[in-house]
Chain A
Amino acid sequence: MFNDKMVLIFVELDNGQIKKTSLEAVYYGAEVAKMQGSTATVLAIGAANSAALAVAGSFGASKVLHANATNLQTENAMAYASVLAEAVRQENADVVILPKSGLCDAMSARAAAKLQASVVSGVVELPDLSNGFKVKRGIYTGKAFATVSVSGAIKILGVKKSAVTPVESGAVAEVIAFNPATNAGDFVAKIISQEKADGELSLTEADIVVSGGRGMKGPENWQPILDLAHALHAATGCSKPVSDLDWRPHHEHIGQTGIKVAPNLYIACGISGAIQHLAGVNSSKCIVVINKDADAPFFKAADYGIVGDVFDILPRLTKAIEAAK
């Protein structure tokens, strides 16, 4: 059967490895390709060795385009968008999949305008191709969903974490160097400096998040949260008041105006559960709330709750988890 359609998936790299949410996006794209009777190609930008990229094959991709030019080593949404648009043109892709992230939102926007493509962000499940191309996406910050019919000749989808559960095939993808021409206009910003916490688990990638609120009473009391996070191999987050008070850095702030997380397990310690905070965590699979106030609104949104003193409970919980390993 002749089919000129193709699915292209952009993957984010972290230290040369494809990120977990990106591998989910690869699987998502490969499933769409299966439905369309087409193939899935991956685009990776930045330093990585071929073996690390070939892993995309196990998630359903047949090949990986690897753009690794010197000027693409630093994350640059505009330049990455140009590379993505070039890959779409070269491969004649009609569906483009990106994991939902700040970088990918910016890339998909600029690429969509270049390609006059439809762009739908926050997709939560595989599309329905039975009558057109329909996707379900999260809206109102996790409080509802919208099913939209996407009409553009090229469709760009930003896929949320856990939209699909990948099944690995063990296959290996062919990795091909991809060196499109770059635009000077994409490199007009001068990077003065970067502040990045080293070795921290990414909040948006982590399967487990341990988060602290004002109930922790001060930045000097964060050790029990860090210890529990360490025992669970979890990322740490906080509520808005905590980051406003500078107890924790702003990039840990989870909520309506901060980061939205969707881990398998979210453990909230000393957080009352204002609606603004819930907006950042309502996509979590399982929520545990530990709070000394039995009337804290967060308990209503929780799967499991413990009423008690965080400073008493957290060390015992950490110890029990270590013991159960």
Chain B
Amino acid sequence: MKILVCITNVPDTTAKIAFIDNDTKLNKAGVQYIIGPYDDYALARAVELKEQHGGSITVLNVGEADGEQQIRKALAIGADDAIRVNCEPSDSYFVAAQIAHCAKEGSYDLILMGRESIDFNSGVVHGLVGEMLNIPSFSPVMKLDIDGNTAKFAREIEGGKEYLEASLPLVLGCQEPIAEWKIPNMRGIMTARTKPLNVVEPVAVPEAATLEKYTLPAPKGAVKMIAADDVESLIALLKSEAKVL
């Protein structure tokens, strides 16, 4: 079984977000980058599936060279080789077109990625890739097993879960608890250094959306503390001041 895992290189959840260059660029100073947490779940499950069924895992990142640290980490966790499409990931359609292009060349049985990236939160790339490749896509997938040529999986729906079966190939957007995040061990880190990482140039895609500027939300006012024995005051404030009751 050939698995393609698409990962994003994103600022850590706890990163302080600030912008530079007239609010057109993220200030990367002091920002820790990580594999997108949802992508990390997808990768972890891919490694488990490979352990059970054999096959290979290719990890794919559409992004600039500074993301290679995350790609090496994915290789250390258990991917066999990697592709980096050398470009700035501008919008969802562009990124999906790059993934679809690479996927066509590799003819994978399973294309896994996170349900969304935590930088732009669109949650549309898996659907775009599925449609571009003309294969089914599902998200958010929280459980996944493979039985021969069939994927048996669970998807979170509003207020519950849906259990599904479908034939491979599939594109799946993943989330917890599909697997536990894996930490690379020393042997993994050593072997990752020599695993192939192919850098390819992007295919041309017409521009769909261009950034004008970034903005930060208005700062929040100070918290109003209410005495524990005075819940009536809280109700009054929620009614008259916040107007939410």
Contacts and interface: CB of A to CB of B under 8 A. Distances in A.
A177 B122 CA distance: 31
B64 interface: no
A256 interface: yes
B204 interface: no
Contacts of B142: 250
A140 B134 CA distance: 30
Interface stretch (A29-37, A63-71, A108-116): A108-116
Contact of B225 (A105, A118, A307): A307
A256 B118 contact: yes
B38 interface: yes
Given A194-B163, A196-B160, A113 B96 contact: yes
B165 to A, nearest CB: 5
B159 A118 contact: no
B10 to A, nearest CB: 9
Interface in A296-325: 299-309, 312-313, 316-317, 320-321, 324
Contact of A195 (B118, B160, B165, B224): B160
B126 A109 contact: yes
A299 B221 CA distance: 11
- Contact-residue size bin, chain A (C-beta under 8 Å from the other chain): 35 or more
Interface in B147-202: 152, 156-167, 175-177
Interface in A83-121: 101-102, 105-110, 112-114, 117-121
Interface residues of B, number: 78
A306 B43 CA distance: 41
B121 A194 contact: no
A257 B228 contact: no
A191 interface: yes
A189 B136 contact: yes
B212 A148 contact: yes
B217 interface: yes
Interface string A238-269: 00000010000111000011000000110000
Contacts of B134: 185
B93 to A, nearest CB: 6
B131 A110 contact: yes
A165 interface: no
Contacts of A158: 122, 124
Q: Which 8 A-B pairs have the closest CB atoms?
A: A109-B127, A308-B228, A113-B131, A196-B160, A118-B208, A109-B124, A189-B166, A105-B123
6 contacts: A109-B131, A119-B128, A140-B11, A185-B134, A194-B163, A303-B221
Given A145-B216, A305-B226, 7 more contacts: A105-B124, A106-B137, A114-B131, A118-B209, A142-B217, A152-B206, A196-B160
